[in-house]
Amino acid sequence: MATSASASLSKTIKQQYMELPQGDKVQAMYIWVDGTGEGLRCKTRTLDFEPKSIEDLPEWNFDGSSTYQAEGSNSDMYLIPAAMFRDPFRKDPNKLILCEVQKYNLLKITCTKLIFLYLEDPTLKTNLRITCNKVMEMVRDQHPWFGMEQEYTILGTDGHPFGWPSNGFPGPQGPYYCGVGADKAYGRDIVEAHYRACLYAGVNICGTNAEVMPAQWEFQVGPCEGIDMGDHLWVARFILHRVCEDFGVVASFDPKPIPGNWNGAGCHTNFSTKEMREDGGLKAIEESIEKLGKRHEYHIRAYDPKGGLDNARRLTGRHETSNIHEFSAGVANRGASIRIPRSVGQEKRGYFEDRRPSANCDPYGVTEALIRTCLLSEEGEEPTDY
């Protein structure tokens, strides 16, 4: 299994530089989603002050033609700070800044360029945060909570699963889920480093476990209310990529990294509202599930960046729904599209789990789709333009 050349660099030598005082300067790493809808990009700038809120942060620009987000003849894109976290790699007072991407700086656009607003949408198809935030604001009083269970696979830089034999396969699935031991848990050092880095950053990570396929793991983020769900999951993904970079391996969110009878990777999404969490909330849960059943194809398209094609690869095998085009729901049923946890069925209140989102889904797109269908009662195959 190949590892990156950076894995052999001396981290001790790097540390002696990282311990140098930085004076009153702050390194701010700006992070954004690229034009693929699943890749992350980043770059760093120096600030002369420690920002206390998003409003303190300057906007920035980048070359969108190198990130699949613009043509070379019109390549400048704006990074609009949206959420701020502590930097677990450079440590305080340095920051990670999650950004939205826009074509134009809407606050500074001149009157002579106003015509462009009528000719071209200033938002990008991969900047789903804008519309997600809009619908979250519409249902703020219902206090929608989300929890997302992010599965991923640790690979070498050659694409071979970490810890697998160089020729052949490990033993069949069975002993690896929540497993313990060097022959069952592959890459726990990475998992532990990622968990601690998320806690330091302020990401609302709430758990982790080894998954069904060897070298596959899961971490959970939540509960997060509204737009915070997408913000926290994207930053958790970024931190995982950076941790893996230091270890010289790769974190893959491919929904089906290994063909055949090996588990796919999803991002199961738990959802509730204030009404669902209160006594008798099961009725509201069942009403939402009924709405979801009537809009299954819309959700499948929204739940992976390729409009359902990635889920078509993934939704086979153990603990996955057997047919991407069929909708089902049930208590404690991990083969269903929607699972009602056993405890929720007994207590008649709580949340439900949507098991359809793929591992590489955009959390803004997933949470927005749930709000549109369950709370705004949208119907049909296209989202409503408010």
Same domain assignment for residues 223 and 336? yes
Query: Both 122 and 89 in a single domain?
Result: yes
Residue with tokens 């969110």: 253
Instruction: Decide which of 106 and 355 is more confident.
Output: 355
Strands (DSSP E) found in 197-266? 205-210, 216-225, 250-252
Same-domain status, 42 and 71: yes
Residue 131 falls inside a structural domain: no
Confidence of residue 75 (pLDDT cuts 50, 70, 90): confident
Instruction: Kindly state whether residue 133 falls inside one of the protein's structural domains.
Output: no
Determine, yes or no, domain membership for 134: no
Residue 14 lies in a domain: yes
Comparing 272 with 310, the larger pLDDT belongs to 272
How many Cβ atoms sit within 10 Å of the Cβ of residue 367?
Answer: 29
The pLDDT of residue 119 is 46
Please tell me the least confidently modeled range out of 23-32, 122-131, 188-197: 122-131
Cα–Cα dist 241/34, whole Å: 15
Number of structural domains the chain divides into: 2
Pairing of strands 352-354, 338-340: antiparallel
Among 259, 246, 249, CA closest to 213 = 259
Q: Which of 94, 126, 158 is the last residue of a domain?
A: 126
SS3 193: helix
**Same structural domain, 113 and 188:** no
d(CA 249, CA 15): 20
Percentage with pLDDT > 90 across the chain: 77
Minimum mean pLDDT among 162-171, 178-187, 367-376: which range? Answer: 162-171
Residue 351 lies in a domain: yes
Q: Is residue 132 part of a domain?
A: no
Calculate mean pLDDT across residues 162-174: 92
pTM: 0.93
* Per-residue tokens: 385: 């333009």
Q: Are residues 327 and 226 in the same domain?
A: yes
Examine the domain organization and report whether 201 and 330 are in the same domain. Answer: yes
26-33 vs 95-102, strand pairing mode: parallel
Cα of first residue to Cα of last residue in the chain, in angstroms, is: 50
- For residues 249 and 296, membership in a common domain is answered with yes
We report the CATH number of the domain holding residue 30 as: 3.10.20.70
Token pair 């609302």 in the structure block, residue: 204
Whether residue 2 is predicted with pLDDT greater than 90 in this model: the reply is no
Pick from 135-149, 178-192, 307-321, 342-356: least confident: 307-321
Report d(CA 118, CA 203) in Å as an integer. 38
pLDDT at position 226 over 50: yes
Least confident residue range of 17-31, 90-104, 199-213, 314-328: 314-328
Please give the full DSSP string across 163-177, using - where no structure is assigned.
TS-SSS--SPSSS-T
**Which tokens is 312 given?**
């078509």
pLDDT of res. 114 = 45
**Cβ atoms < 10 Å from Cβ of 13:** 8
Please report the pLDDT score of residue 318 as a whole number: 47
Q: Could you give the percent of the chain with pLDDT greater than 70? A: 91
Assigned domain for 227 exists: yes
1: confidence class by pLDDT, cuts 50, 70, 90: low
Asked if pLDDT for residue 377 goes beyond 50, the answer is yes
- Bridge partners of residue 219, in order along the sequence: 150, 208
- 121 pLDDT band, cuts 50/70/90, is low
Residue 121 and residue 148 in one domain: no
Same domain for 163 and 44: no
Which pLDDT band holds residue 123 (cuts at 50, 70, 90)?
Answer: low
**Pair 161, 114 in one domain:** no
Joined tokens for residue 258: 């290994």
Query: In the predicted model, what is the mean pLDDT of residues 316-329?
Result: 62
Residues 237 and 314 in one domain: yes
pLDDT band at 118 (very low <50, low <70, confident <90, very high): very low
Taking the C-alpha atoms of residue 36 and residue 99, their distance in angstroms, rounded to an integer, is 16
Instruction: Using alpha carbons, select from 222, 325, 226, 232 the residue that is nearest to residue 268.
Output: 222
Domain range spanning residue 26?
5-126
Distance CA 350, CA 328 (A): 19
At residue 251, does pLDDT exceed 70?
Answer: yes
Quick: pLDDT tens for 290-322.
999 999 999 999 999 998 888 888 875 444 554
- Looking at 265-274, 302-311, 373-382, which range is the least confident one? 302-311
The residue out of 126, 161, 189 marking a domain boundary is 126
Residues 159 and 39 in one domain: no
For residue 193, give the amino acid letter: A
Q: How far apart are CA 319 and CA 212, in angstroms?
A: 9
Q: Over 90: is that where the pLDDT of 7 sits?
A: no
**Which of 126, 154, 176 corresponds to the end of one domain?**
126
User: What's the farthest any 2 CA atoms get from each other in the chain?
Assistant: 66
Instruction: Kindly list the distances between the CA atom of residue 144 and the CA atoms of 138, 347, 371, in Å, as whole numbers in the listed order.
Output: 11, 19, 8
**CATH number, position 183:** 3.30.590.10
